Structure 1
Amino acid sequence: MHTQQHADWQTTGLARRARSWLAAAVILGGAASVLFVLQLIILAQTVDNLTFKGHTLASAHMALIEIALLCAGSLLVQWLADMAGAEAGLRISTSVQRDLLHHLFRVGPIGCATLPAGQIVTTLTEGVAALEPYFAQYIPRAAMMVILPGLILAVVFHLDGWSFAILACTGPLIPVFMALVGYSAQSIMNRQWLQLVVMGSNFLDSLRGLTTLRLFGQTQASIDRMRTMAEAHRRATFSVMQVAFLTSATLEFFASLSIALVAVVFGARLLHGTADFRSAFLVLLLAPEYFMPLRAFSASYHARQNATAAATRIAEIASLPELNIAVDGEKPSATHITSLTLDTVCTSYADEPALQAVCARFERGQFIAVTGESGAGKTTLLRLLLGFLDVQSGSITAHDSHGRTVPSPQAHMAWVPQRPLMLFGTVADNMRIAAPQTDRQSLREAAQKADALAFIETLPQGFNTPVGERGSRLSGGQIKRLALARALLRNPDVLCLDEPTANLDPASAHAVARALHQCASYRIVIAATHDDALIRQADQILHVADGKVTVCRQSKDVAA
C-alpha cells in the first residue's frame, strides 16, 4: 500500500489527474502534424508543377488556397494542443498543492515537525511550480517526438529509400545521447534541489531568530552563510544549464549532419538524373521538420529533470502518516461531551515512548490542572487529547449526558497554545478564524466570557483595530485573552490550554485565571501549568513524571 501511494505521487501517477487534457494535447498535436505534412506535400507538388511542368500561376490558384487553409488549420490545431497541455499542467499543479495542504492538515503539527519547515515551504511553492512545465510541455513534446518523425519517415520511405535510411539511422542517435547526458544531469538537479531546500530552511531560521542573531552579534555571519549557500545554488544552476547546452549542441550536430547527408545524396542523384525534383524538394522540406520535435523536446528536457527531483520531495511530504483527527471544516455532532475517559492510553514520538498507561476521567464543569516538570509530558498529554498524536494502545472515549459515545470528539474541542497565533489583521479577523460567519454580537459575547471585552473596547477602533504582525500591538495578557475568546467562539465542550498564564504580569495572569474559572462552570477545561494559583483552583490535578500520569483529586495531594 505504501509503495502504491508513493507511486501515485510520482510523475507517472500525477499524470492520471489530467489524463483527458494530456490525451487531448497529444491528439491535437498529432492532427496538427498531419495537416503540416499535407501542406508540405501540396507545396512541393505545386512548386514542381510551376517550375518544371509549365503550369501557370492561375492554374495553381486552388493549390495555394489549400496550402493557406492547411497552414491556418495546422497553426490553430497546434494552438489548441498547447492550450490543452497548459490546462493539464495547471490542473495537476493546483490539485497537487491542494492535496498536499489537505494532507498536512491531516498529518498534524507533530507529524509536520519531522520535516524542516523550509523544505515543506519550498516544496509547496517551487516544487509544485516545477510540475507545470513538465506536464504542459515535456509530455506533449515527447509524444510529438514520436508522432511527427514517424509520419515523416513514412512519407520519406514512400519517396526515397536512401533518405529514409539516413533519417532512420541518425534520428534515434539523438534520444540515446540525450538519455546519456540526462543521467548525469539528474544527479546535478537533485543536488540543486537539496541546496535550495537547505537555503530556504536557513533563511527561514534566520528570520525567526533575527533578534537572537542581532544580540549575539552574528548578523553578518548569518548573511555570509546565506551568501555561501546562494553561491552554491548558483553554481549548481549553471551546471544544469551547461548540461542543457551540451544536449542542444549534440542535437544540432546530428541534425545538421543528417540534413547535410540527405542534401548531398540528393544533389548528386539530381545531377546524374536518377532522382526527380519533386521528391528531392519534398524530402529536403521534411528533413529539418523531422528534427524539429527533437529540438522542442530537448528544450523542455530539463523540465523532466526538475519535475522528477520535485516529485521526490512531494512524495516525501505525502508519505507522512495521517492522524485520525477531525478534518478542517468538520462540524461537531449535535450531542455534547459531558465526560472524557482515558483508559490505559499509551503514545510515543516516533519510536520513543512518551506517555504510558494513562488512566483518567474528566467531567463537565471541572477545571483540570496538568502539572509536572518542564519536558515531563504535559503538552504531550494535551496533544494526545486533541488528536495531534496517535493512541498507540488504550482508548480515549467521549460520552454525552446519556452515556452514549460521541463521535469525533476533537470536533468538540478548542485549543489555546502557549504562544497563540495572531494573524496580520484586526481583532475581529483574528477571532473569526474560529467561526468566519460570526456576527458582531457573538464576538462581544465570546470576548466577555474571556474577560477580553473591556480591553478591546479601549482600543482605538475596537474590534476593527489592527493587531499588527504576530499581535505586536497587544500585550501578552491581551493576546492570551483574545486567543481564549477565539477558542470560546466555537463553544467547545472541552477547552485545552498550554501554560495560559506563562510570562504574564500578576494582573494579566489573574484576569486569565478568572476567565478560565468562569469557563469551567459549563465545560471541561484542561490546562497544563506551573502556576500555583491555577493549581489551587483545580477540581482535579494530573501530575506527569517519567511518562506516567498520577491523578490527584485535590491540589493538596500534589503538595503532599
Structure 2
Amino acid sequence: MTSAPNDLAFLRRLRPLAARELRLALLAGAVAGVMVVLQAWWVATILDRALVGREPLAELVLPFVLLFGIVALRAASTFAAERLGFAAAMRVVPALRRALLGKLGRVGPSGAAALPTGEIVAALSDGVRAVEPFFSRYLPATAQAAMLPVGIFLVVAPLDWLSALVFLVTAPLIPLFMVLIGKGAEALNQRQWLRLQRMSGHFLDAVQGLASIKAFGAGPRMVAEVGATAERYRRDTMAVLRIAFLSSLTLEFFSTVAIAIIAVLIGFRLLWGELDYRAGLFILLLAPEFYGPLRMMGTAYHARMEALGAASRLVALDALPEPVLASGTARPAFGDGIAIRFEDVHLTYPDGRIALRGVTFAIEPGETVAFAGPSGAGKSSIQALLLGFVGPTSGRILIDGHPLETLDPEHWRRHLGFMPQRPKLFAASVRGNIAPGEADPDDSAILRAAERAGVAGVIADLPQGLDTAIGNGGRQLSGGQASRIALARLFCRDAPLALLDEPTAHLDDDSEAMIHAAITQLKGRRTLLVNAHRPASLALAHRIIRIEEGRIAVGQAEPAETACPC
C-alpha cells in the first residue's frame, strides 16, 4: 500500500492545475473575512446607538443601509469563494482523468494487466471523483481557517486581552482533536477503498462471466457473494460515518464551550462596568465567527482523508511502468511495406514471466510471415513489442532501419493495422467500428473496405446500413461477421504493416475461408505478420517462423508451401 506522504505529494502535484482558481478563492475568502469583522462591528455599533445612546430610528437609516451592503458583500464573496473552489476542482478532476487515461494508453494492455480491471475502473470513476472535495472544500477551508481566526484575534486583542487569551487557549484544541480523530478515519478510509475495489472487481467478473454462471447454475451463489461483499463495504462506510459524526460532535462541543466561556466573562465584566457595551457585543458576535472556520476545516478534514484513500489507488495507477516506445519522437516516412528486424531481443514481463529469449529475425517490406508455435511460446509477445505495449528487456528492434524506441508512438501506430484473435467491437455504429476515432470518416472508403472484407452484403441488410448501432461486442452479429467487420477496419486503415493474431480462431470453415480470401488481397502489397496454428492460415505466408519457449526454433524459418501442419 502506498504511504500517506506519497499520497499527499500526489495531490499537491495537482495544485498547479487550479492555481489561479485557488488564488481567487483565497482572495474572495479574505474579503469575506473582512466583511465578517465589519458586520459584527456595525451591528454592535447600531445596537449601541439604539439601546445605549437611545438615538431615534430615523438617524439609523444610513447605518442600516451600510449594514445591508456589508451583508450583501459578505454573501457575494462567500458565494464566490465556494464557486471558485468548485471551479478549481473542476480544473483538476477532468485533467486528472485525462492524464490517467493517457497513462493507460501509454502502458498498453500488458502494463495495465499489473492491476485488476475492477481496481482500474474504481480508480478512474470513484477515485478521481473523491479528489474533488479536497480542492473544492478542504483547501479553501484550510486557507480560511488560517486567515480569519488570526485576523479576529488581532482585532480583539487590543480591545479585550482576556477574550483574546480564551481564543488563544481554546483554538488549538479543535485542530488537535480533529487530527487525533482523523487518524482513525484515515485507516478506515484506506480499508474502505480496498473494499470498493474488490467489490468492483468481483461485480465486473460476475457480469463478464454471466453466461457461464447461468449455464452452471451458480447464480444464487454468485448473488450471495456479491451481496456479502456489498454488506462488508456498507459496514466500512458506516464506520467512517460514525467517526465523522464523532469528530463533528467533538468540534462543536469545544467551540460551544469556548463561546460560552467568552459570553460569561463578557457578561460579568459588563455588569461590573469593566467593558463598554459596544466592545463587549462586538467580541461576542465575533466569537462564533472565530471558531466557525476551524469547525469547517474539521468537517473538510474528512474530505482530505477520503481523497488520501483514493490517492493511494491513483498513485498505483500512475506508477505503472511505461514501455520504452513511449519516449520516442522520430516521425519517419514509411512506404507501402515496412522492413522489420529483431536483434537478440529478450522480453521479461514485470511479473517475472520470461516471454522471449534472444529472438533474431528479419522481415522484408511486403513480405507475409507466419509465426507458428504452441500457445505461450511468445508469438503474441512479438506483436505486443511492435504495437508498443511493452518494451524489450534487452536487444534491439529496427523499423526500416530506425530503432523502435526512437519512434513517436502515435506516428508509429498510425502506420499499423491490428486484428486480434477476438476483435473488439464498440457500442457504436458500423461506421464508427470500421473507422474508429475518425472525426469525418469517408463513407466511400468504408464501403470499399467492407467490400474487400466480404461484409458489404451484411451491412446492406442492416436496418440503417452504416448508421446501425451494433452494440458493445457486436451483439447483433455472428462471430464470422464480427471478424469481417474487424477485417474491414484493417482494410480501411490501409496501414503498411498489418498484425493478425490468429484471425480465424473460433470461426467455422466457411467464415475462415472468407477471412483468408480477404487477407490474400493484402499479400504482397503490405507487410503482414500472422500468428497462426491452422494449416490454412499458415499457407497464406511466404515463409513461417517457428517459436518454441520464447526462442526461434532450429532452422528458424521455412517456406509456407513446405510447412507441415501444426
| Cα distance, 1:381 vs structure 2 | 1.6
Worse-superposed segment, 519-528 or 56-65: 56-65
Question: What residue is the counterpart of 2:366 in the other structure?
Answer: 365
Mapping 1:144-159, distance limit 5 Å: 144-159=144-159
3-state SS of 1:519 partner: coil
| Counterpart AA for 2:414 | A
| Counterpart AA for 2:564 | A
| Cα distance, 1:257 vs structure 2 | 1.0
Kept in 2: contact 1:123–1:314 (CA 8 A)? yes
Worse-superposed segment, 446-455 or 105-114: 446-455
CA–CA separation in structure 1 for the residues paired with 2:360 and 2:8: 41
Question: What residue is the counterpart of 2:435 in the other structure?
Answer: 432
Question: What residue is the counterpart of 2:538 in the other structure?
Answer: 535
Kept in 1: contact 2:118–2:197 (CA 8 A)? yes
| Counterpart AA for 2:541 | A
CA–CA separation in structure 1 for the residues paired with 2:412 and 2:57: 84
CA–CA separation in structure 1 for the residues paired with 2:20 and 2:103: 25
CA–CA separation in structure 2 for the residues paired with 1:93 and 1:459: 40
Change (3 A) 1:223 1:10: same
Question: What residue is the counterpart of 1:492 in the other structure?
Answer: 495
3-state SS of 1:354 partner: strand
Question: What residue is the counterpart of 2:483 in the other structure?
Answer: 480
**Aligned positions, number:** 554
Quick check: 1:507 aligned with 2:495?
Answer: no
Per-residue CA shift, 1:53-86, capped at 9, x if unaligned? 2322222222222211111111111111111111
Per-residue CA shift, 1:123-151, capped at 9, x if unaligned? 11111111111101111011111211111
Kept in 2: contact 1:367–1:517 (CA 8 A)? no
CA–CA separation in structure 2 for the residues paired with 1:436 and 1:42: 61
| Cα distance, 1:43 vs structure 2 | 1.6
CA–CA separation in structure 2 for the residues paired with 1:310 and 1:406: 35
CA–CA separation in structure 1 for the residues paired with 2:195 and 2:187: 12
Question: What residue is the counterpart of 1:559 in the other structure?
Answer: 564
Structure 2 alignment gaps of length 5 or more: none
Change (3 A) 1:120 1:71: same
Question: What residue is the counterpart of 1:465 in the other structure?
Answer: 468
Worse-superposed segment, 291-300 or 184-193: 291-300
CA–CA separation in structure 1 for the residues paired with 2:381 and 2:6: 30
Change (3 A) 1:97 1:320: same
Change (3 A) 1:8 1:355: farther
Mapping 1:414-433, distance limit 5 Å: 414-433=417-436
Question: What residue is the counterpart of 1:442 in the other structure?
Answer: 445
Question: What residue is the counterpart of 2:396 in the other structure?
Answer: 395
Change (3 A) 1:35 1:465: closer
CA–CA separation in structure 1 for the residues paired with 2:376 and 2:200: 29
| Cα distance, 1:33 vs structure 2 | 0.7
| Cα distance, 1:9 vs structure 2 | 6.3
CA–CA separation in structure 1 for the residues paired with 2:407 and 2:134: 47
| Cα distance, 1:109 vs structure 2 | 0.7
| Cα distance, 1:8 vs structure 2 | 8.9
| Counterpart AA for 2:383 | L
CA–CA separation in structure 2 for the residues paired with 1:223 and 1:122: 20
| Cα distance, 1:491 vs structure 2 | 1.2
CA–CA separation in structure 1 for the residues paired with 2:515 and 2:316: 42
3-state SS of 2:390 partner: coil
Kept in 1: contact 2:337–2:366 (CA 8 A)? no
CA–CA separation in structure 2 for the residues paired with 1:303 and 1:324: 37
TM-score, scaled relative to structure 1: 0.94
Mapping 1:146-185, distance limit 5 Å: 146-185=146-185
TM-score, scaled relative to structure 2: 0.93
| Counterpart AA for 2:521 | Q
3-state SS of 2:176 partner: helix
Structure 1 alignment gaps of length 5 or more: none
Question: What residue is the counterpart of 2:17 in the other structure?
Answer: 17
3-state SS of 2:493 partner: coil
CA–CA separation in structure 2 for the residues paired with 1:367 and 1:270: 98
Mapping 1:115-514, distance limit 5 Å: 115-325=115-325, 333=333, 335-350=335-350, 351-399=352-400, 409-433=412-436, 435-514=438-517
CA–CA separation in structure 1 for the residues paired with 2:477 and 2:336: 34
What percentage of residue pairs aligned between the two structures are identical? 35
| Counterpart AA for 1:36 | V
Per-residue CA shift, 1:442-493, capped at 9, x if unaligned? 0111122223224333444433333233112212111111101102211111
CA–CA separation in structure 2 for the residues paired with 1:9 and 1:209: 39
| Counterpart AA for 2:45 | Q
Per-residue CA shift, 1:160-217, capped at 9, x if unaligned? 1111111211111010011000011100010001000000000000000011111222
Q: 2:522 aligns with which of 513, 519, 522?
A: 519
CA–CA separation in structure 2 for the residues paired with 1:435 and 1:333: 21
CA–CA separation in structure 1 for the residues paired with 2:10 and 2:107: 20
CA–CA separation in structure 2 for the residues paired with 1:443 and 1:555: 32
Kept in 2: contact 1:337–1:400 (CA 8 A)? no
Kept in 2: contact 1:418–1:499 (CA 8 A)? yes
| Counterpart AA for 2:116 | P
Per-residue CA shift, 1:506-532, capped at 9, x if unaligned? 111111111111111200111111111
